[in-house]
Structure 1
């Protein structure tokens, strides 16, 4: 059976639907963390995540599901994300921000996310990632 195409901007009511729902959000998160593990260009980002990525995979999937307009899985389990506060223990500078953004952009390209959606997400991801920085320039 062929995989159904995700709805486009004219038919989707949320970025979650436009991306393709639960399975596509999970695929994006999995590819993001696979790339982080495989690509030397993301070494500092990977080092910040400890020995295993399993917990991080689930938390990003749960968070992105709600952030994209789907089910609020993260909030249901942990309450408000408090992103900046939860990331304060980790060194997040320009390099880590840029590696996170590049890794996510690569994951979106490899999964053939609609270019219009990818561009919108990249803008939003940049704003959030830059706000998360806790190290100076």
Structure 2
């Protein structure tokens, strides 16, 4: 949504348009509830507690969509492919990840345009993480 303030045009970021930090925290929390019981994805998380992974993904997504730069401040450049390289990310992992993320996105009940924009990015991101051919 565009707003005019003191003669300048200011555009809200996607992050702001969808409700900011609470929206991204709900999205990622819901996603990790699915991951916790997933036989394909859960073994990829060496930590017993998924909380740290949940926090990292939340901070990354908030930053990506125009929120605070906390992720980069704490962890540096995202380097997503490099960070996922130690894990076997095959088509089954891709599909499982998207399945849990799809359910989490639907729970947000975003408007159609925002949901499509978010979903298109998540599909792209999931495809780019695949590192093991079938």
| Displacement after TM superposition at 1:114 (Å) | 2.3
2:34 is aligned to: 35
Determine which structure has the larger strand proportion and give its number: 2
CA apart distance, 1:47: 2.3
Distance apart, 1:126 and its partner CA: 1.3
Correspondence for 1:21: 20
Deviates more, 1:109-118 or 1:52-61: 109-118
Distance in 1 (alpha carbons) for counterparts of 2:14 and 2:94: 22
TM-score by length of 1: 0.83
SS at the partner of 2:40?
helix
Contact 1:101 1:122 in 2 (8 A): no
Q: TM-score, with normalisation over the residues of structure 2? A: 0.85
CA deviation after TM superposition for structure 1 residue 122, in Å: 1.4
Number of aligned residues? 125
Match of 1:46 among 42, 54, 58: 42
* Partner residue in 2 for 1:97: 94
What is the CA RMSD across the aligned residues, in angstroms? 1.6
Aligned to 1:84: 81
8 A Cα contact 2:105 2:119, kept in partner: no
From 116, 119, 134, give the equivalent of 1:119.
116
Name the SS of the counterpart of 2:41 in structure 1: helix
Cα deviations by residue, 1:56-88 (Å, 9 ceiling, x for unpaired): 011001101101111111101011010000110
Aligned partners of 2:112, 2:36: CA distance in 1, in Å? 25
Q: Deviations over 1:22-60 (max 9, x none)?
A: 11111111111112224xxx4201221233211101100
Hey, what's the Cα distance between the residues in 2 that align with 1:127 and 1:48? 20
Unaligned stretches of 5+ residues in structure 1 = 1-9
